[in-house]
Amino acid sequence: MSSFHANRFFAASALAAVGVGFLLAVVPAFGQPKTILPATAATCDQLRGWLVRYDSEKGSQHLSGRRFRADVALALCASGRYAEGVAILETEARNAGYTFPTP
């Protein structure tokens, strides 16, 4: 890899890391989001699995930005911030066309 391409790759990676860090820091400022599903690690896994299956069937995960937002949500879940992560994953699932049953 040429040094030009290596520098571009490093810059893009650094920018992505800063973006995720910023989102992880800013999301709590908006309060606890309301979710339809329980805010648990199992719910994060369930929604992740659904989005992976749905996006791979549709071939749209890299075009829509949904993958990035889902990755941010999964990072929130991994850090124990389930309510925030589940809220983002629910939004992405809704945007992908999934309809949640009303409670």
Write the pLDDT tens digit of every residue in 49-81.
888 777 666 665 555 677 788 889 999 999 999
Give 51's contacts (C-beta < 8 A, 6+ positions apart): 61, 66, 70, 89, 92, 93, 96
d(CA 32, CA 9): 35
Q: Is 76 left (phi over 0), alpha (psi -120 to 50) or beta?
A: alpha
Q: Note the pTM of the prediction, 2 decimals.
A: 0.60
What share of the chain has pLDDT > 70, as a percent?
54
For the residues 83-102, what does the mean pLDDT come to? Answer: 84
* Residue 36 contacts residue 100 (beta carbons within 8 Å): yes
The length of the chain, given as a count of residues: 103
What pLDDT sits at residue 87? 93
- For residue 84, pLDDT over 80 is answered with yes
